Amino acid sequence: MPERPFIIVAIDGGAASGKSSTSRTLSERLHLLHVDTGSFYRAITAELLRRGLSPADLPAVQAAVATLPFGTRVEGRSARMEIGGRVAGDEIRSREVNEHVSHFAAIPAVRTALLAYQRGQAAVARQHQFKGLVMEGRDIGSVIFPDADFRFFLQADPVERARRRASEGQHDSISERDRLDSSRKTSPLTIPAGATAIDSTHLTLEQVVDRLVAQIEGRASRV
């Protein structure tokens, strides 16, 4: 059987919709690099807050993000963002970052600063001999990789999503972040054209991943 080509899988969805656990498990099943773009926006937010900036300080934010020295460290199957050679720690899941990340992510200069970096993860995956990459976020299938081989959109009932976050011990206003992420002008959270929507409310993680794998392997075997 011929070697399967390098594949790009885009997984979008709202806060706590199950993107991270799904993407991580899929990356293990198919030997893909796992790229969590929410962690990139979170790392930048933590860095800008550390510098004392607020999303209202537009010129200062624009100047700062244009010169942030990004790098990538591959740990296991995951791509971690380095800023100035340092990978951010647990502070990216703090209450302060949860409260600010959607505001910084709505700033076009922040998104522009991340565009090429995110697309460059495909080269990182190839360098590290992965069979492809699975990238999760809000605008992956619509903006970052509109030609992705596979596009999925995860949904879940808001009550179930709040329960999932609380079980992780996190304080996070999920619906407020979704409102901000869906209503911003630049690259809003949306179901990308041609994406398969999956509601995970009543599915286990394995069931969700099985659906993705079935679609990916079903198509790959027809090529």
Q: Which of the ranges 3-11, 24-32, 123-131, 135-143 carries the binding residues for ligand DC, by CB under 6 A?
A: 135-143
Residue 158, token pair as written in the block: 């808001």
Buried b (16+ CB within 10 A) or exposed e, 63-95: ebbeebebebebeebebbbebeeeebeeebbbe
Measure the CA–CA gap between 139 and 146, rounded to whole angstroms.
9
Q: Which is nearer to ligand DC, 185 or 222 (CB)?
A: 185
Q: Does 35 bind ligand DC (CB under 6 A)?
A: no
| Cβ at position 113, least distance to ligand DC in Å | 12
φ, ψ of residue 198 to 5 degrees: the values are -130, 125
Q: How far is the CB of 129 from ligand DC (least distance, A)?
A: 25
Whole-number minimum distance, CB 172 to ligand DC, in Å? Answer: 8
Residue 10 burial (CB count, 10 A)? 27
Q: How many CB atoms lie within 10 A of CB 98?
A: 21
Residue 177 as a binder of ligand DC (CB under 6 A): the answer is yes
Query: Is the Cβ of residue 44 or residue 212 nearer to ligand DC in the bound state?
Result: 44
Task: Give me the residues that bind ligand DC (CB under 6 A), please.
Answer: 15, 37-38, 41-42, 101-102, 105, 137-140, 177, 181
